[in-house]
Structure formats: C-alpha cells, structure tokens
Amino acid sequence: MSFVVLVVHGLNTSTNVLLLGVTVSDFCYLVTLYARKVSCIVSHFDPAVAMTIETTLIPNVFMVNRVFTLTTPFLTMIITLERCLAVTLPLKIQSIVTPLRMKLAVIFIFIFTFCAVFPFFLCYQIRWVSDPVTNLTVPRLSGTPFFLTHFDAITVYNNMVLSALFNYLPMAVVVVCTVIVITTVKKSAHWRKLTSQTSGERPEERRMTKLLMSVVAVYIVCYLPRCAVLVANSVAPNTFNSLGGRYGNLFYLISALQHLLYAVNSSVNFIIYMVMSHKFFMTYKRVFLCHKMRGKGDATNITRATSSLGASISSQH
C-alpha cells in the first residue's frame, strides 16, 4: 500500500524517491524473511521437511535477505543527510538535492549493496547425502572451494569491512545528523521564523522533517542492538559469540530478537506515514477506500469546475 500511494504521488520530489526506495527495500526484506522462516511453521508438522527447507534456502534466499538488511541502513543515512541539508541550508537544498540525483543515489545504493554481498553467494553449496538414521536423502550445507580457499579473507571482509561499512558508518552518520537536525530545529531562530510563515511550503517541510525523523528514530531503536552485538563480539570474541562463549546464549538470544526488530523497522513505516502525513492519508483513502468517498465522476466534475473557475478568475485579472 505504501508503494502504491508513493507511486500515485509521483517521483517529482527527492523525498518521495527516498521513501519509495525504503519501501521497496522493506518489502523485499519482509518477503525473503518470511520465506526463510516458513520452516518454523513446517517444523510443527514435519521436522525433517523443515530442516530441508531451511538448509536449501541458505545459499540463495538467506543472502538476498541479507542484501536488503544492509540496504536499509544506507537509505536511512541518506534520509538524515537530506534532512540535515534541508534544515541547515533551506535556501540551497532544492539545487543541491534534485529528484534525478536522488534517483541515481538510491539505484547506486541497491547495486552497491548487492555487489558487496555477492561474494557470499559463492560461499555455500548444497550436497544431497543419505541419512544413515532415516535412510532418506537430505541436504547438507557445505562450503564451496572458493570459500575454503579464501576463508581468512572472507572472514575479515565479513567481520570488519561489511560491519564497518553497513553498520557502524550508517549508525554514526544517522546519530550525528539527527542531533544536528534536532538542535537546528529547536534553537535556530531563523528556522522558527521560516516555519511560522503561513504561505509557501514551510509548514509542509516541517511536517516532512518530523515524519522522516520518526522513520530515523525507529531505525536507531531497531538497529542499535545489532551494532552493540558487533562491538561486543569484536572486543570479546571468545566470550560473546555463538560458538561456546561465556555469553553465547545471550548472543544467540539477541541475534534471534534482531530479526524481529528488523521486521518491525520494515513494517512500521506505513503506520508512520498514515499518522504523520495528511497527504499520504488522503491519497490512501482515495485509492484504497474509494467506495467510502465521493464517486469518481463527481470528483472529476469538481476538479474540472474548480479549474474552470480558476481560469475565469485569472482571465478577469
């Protein structure tokens, strides 16, 4: 529904382009997450089939899910950067951030994230072997020759490069930009003067800032535990990990809950849009609840009448 409403709004503003990119990323993450977790439901009926599903999805669906897990932080970082420029340079933002540049930035983020995760698509393979206990052919996950040959390099790349690039960097930029935005909005007399005007787009711009900062706040709450886990794992890898460390159970619990937080982050934006954007809410009602509103023919007639009246007034002046 968010995708449909944003498409109806059009991509003539950088904000709509950003929100559409976030919507696509959230949708793809949720779909691949549900595909991964379908084995949890199947396990209540047939544990063997559930294990087969979970194992066979790791080399492909799991990696696609990871792509969109890493895309969201970068898109959120772009949101905060755009809002930071909007409140600090309100007179130059239109020339600095254009819809075309934002489209290119969003497309680049998707391509860049996929390229960054692509090596992991080559790391695992499925081998079908005979289970001596059940005498059934079952899948077994194993490393590919590429993974075994470059194990040390891939481990460093995963634990250091990807963590720094897609977790630490976006979180740091988001926090810093959010502090700048909040400080500027609250303390800048110039900003208060601009937002107090009744004409122009200043009130709408202020509402959009609140909406986007709400999206950013949800991201910080949902992704900060993951950053904390990565830091703890880096500082004390022998005690805080899932491989028999002293706090291994806590690590496993937080990692499992992280999927829930990611799902919340990907699902709650629609509610934020509905509550904080009157334009989004009205478009949603017009598109999805048209049977409860004025008929399409009536709306068209009203629009035509309004346009004719406006043209008549303009010609008189």
- What are the tens digits of pLDDT across the range 63-116? 999 999 999 889 999 988 988 888 888 788 888 888 899 999 999 999 999 999
Determine, yes or no, domain membership for 302. no
Q: How many Cα atoms within 13 Å fall on the side-chain side of residue 2?
A: 23
Determine, yes or no, domain membership for 45. yes
Determine, yes or no, domain membership for 313. no
Determine, yes or no, domain membership for 290. no
Determine, yes or no, domain membership for 269. yes
Domain that holds residue 244: 2-285
Question: What ranges in the chain are assigned the alpha helix state H?
Answer: 2-9, 14-42, 47-57, 63-88, 93-96, 99-121, 145-149, 151-156, 163, 169-187, 189-195, 202-235, 248-267, 269-276, 278-288, 296-316
Sequential pLDDT tens for the chain (317 residues): 999 999 998 888 888 899 999 999 999 999 999 988 888 899 899 888 888 888 888 888 889 999 999 998 899 999 889 888 888 887 888 888 888 999 999 999 999 999 999 999 998 888 888 877 777 788 888 888 998 898 889 888 987 888 888 888 998 999 898 888 888 877 664 545 555 544 444 567 677 778 888 888 899 888 888 887 777 766 666 665 554 556 667 777 777 788 889 999 999 989 999 888 888 888 888 888 875 544 444 444 434 434 443 444 344 44
Angle between helices 269-276 and 2-9 (to 10 degrees): 50
Determine, yes or no, domain membership for 307. no
User: In this structure, what CATH number is given to the domain that contains residue 147?
Assistant: 1.20.1070.10
Determine, yes or no, domain membership for 71. yes
Determine, yes or no, domain membership for 303. no
Task: Please check whether residue 70 is in contact with residue 226, taking contact to mean a CB–CB distance below 8 angstroms.
Answer: no
Domain count, the chain: 1
Query: In 3-state terms, what secondary structure has residue 105?
Result: helix
pLDDT at 239: 60
